[in-house]
Amino acid sequence: MTDTKPPLHLLIAAPRGFCAGVDRAIRIVELALERWGAPVYVRHEIVHNKFVVDSLKAKGAIFVKELDEVPDGVPVVFSAHGVPKAVPAKAAERGLTYVDATCPLVSKVHRQAERLVQQGRHILFVGHAGHPEVIGTFGQVPEGGMTLVETVEDAEMLAVADAGNLSFLTQTTLSVDDTAEIVATLRRRFPDIAVPRSEDICYATTNRQNAVKGIAERCDKLLVIGAPNSSNSLRLVEVSERCGTPARLVQRGPDVDFDWLGDARTVGLTAGASAPELLVREVVDALATRFDITEEQADGVQENMVFKLPAGLAA
C-alpha cells in the first residue's frame, strides 16, 4: 500500500525572476570570458545570487571584494549594483581593461545625483546602509553631498542646514509602499524639496512586488527564491507579510522547510530579480517530493525590457 501525498496548490507569481539589468550583467561577464578568456575578475558579486555566481566561477570568473585584489593585466567587470566613481578612475590609472555592468536604471540615478549636486542641492537618499547600490550612488558625488534616509523615523528626525535646497533620490530595489511613506514624510516636512522627474524604484522591483500582492491573499504561505543579501528578494518577503501571508526566503530546492509549510494547501511562489527560472523549477521539484502538486501560473504584467550591451562587447 503506497502513501498518498497531500495535495498542494502552487500559485506561481508573474512576473518573477531575472530582470533586464541582471540578464545584461550576466551576459557581460560571459562575453568578457569569450573575448579575453579566463580569468576575468569581477568586483563584488555580479548579482546577488549564489547559484549565478557559482555558475560564472565555473566558467572562469573570479569574484573579489575590492579592486586591489585584481592583478595587473587582466580584465575586470564591475557589478550590476554600480560602483563609486573612484573605482573606474583607479582601474584606468592602473591601466586595467574594465567593463561596467551597472544596471542602466542605477546609472540613471547616478546621473541624477550628479546633476542635483551641480545645481547646489543636497540629496536625501532613501536606501539601506551598506548595500552596494547605496555605496555606489554616494560615490558619485562629493563627500557630504548626500544624507541617507532609511526609515520614516529617520525622515521625521532629519535636521538640514538649508531646507530650500533639498532633493531626494531612492535606491532602485526598495519596498514601493515603505518608500512612499518615507517620501510623503519628506515632502510634508520639506515642502520645497525637489522631486525626481520619474520613479527611481525600477520597473522589475515594482512589478514583482505587485505580483506578490496579487497572489498573497489566496495563499496560506509564500516562498520567495532569492539570496539573503538580495534587497529586492527581501522586500518580496515583506510585501507578502504585509498582506497577512507568512513568507520565507529560500535559495534553492533543498532549503524548503517542510515543517514551516505545515498543513498549507495553497502556497505562493516567486523569485527575486537575480534568481533564474531554473531555481523556480528546482523548488517546485522539491515540493513535489512531499506533495501532489497542482500548478497555477498567475496573470501578470508582460516585461519586454532589454538593455543594450556595452559597445566593446556587443556582437
User: What's the pTM value of the predicted model, to 2 decimals?
Assistant: 0.95
- pLDDT (tens digit per residue) in 37-46: 999 999 999 9
User: Is the same domain home to 210 and 272?
Assistant: yes
| Nearest-angstrom CA–CA distance, 67 and 83 | 11
Provide the domain limits for residue 127: 107-189
The verdict on residue 276 lying in a domain is yes
User: Is the same domain home to 114 and 86?
Assistant: no
Catalytic residue among 93, 133, 153, 217: 133
CATH code at position 245: 3.40.1010.20
Task: Specify whether the CB–CB gap between 219 and 243 falls below 8 A.
Answer: no
The verdict on residue 308 lying in a domain is no
- Our answer to whether residue 303 is catalytic in this structure is no
Q: Which DSSP category does 116 fall into?
A: H
From the first residue on, what is the mean pLDDT of each consecutive set of 10 residues in the chain (315 residues)?
Answer: 85 98 97 96 96 98 97 96 97 97 97 96 97 97 97 97 94 95 97 89 96 98 97 97 98 98 97 98 98 96 94 74
- 279, containing H or E segment: helix 277-288
| Nearest-angstrom CA–CA distance, 197 and 221 | 38
- Which of 103, 135, 170 is the last residue in one of the domains? 103
- Domain count of the chain? 3
- pLDDT (tens digit per residue) in 6-30: 999 999 999 999 999 999 999 999 9
Task: Report residue 48 as a C-alpha cell.
Answer: 546577488
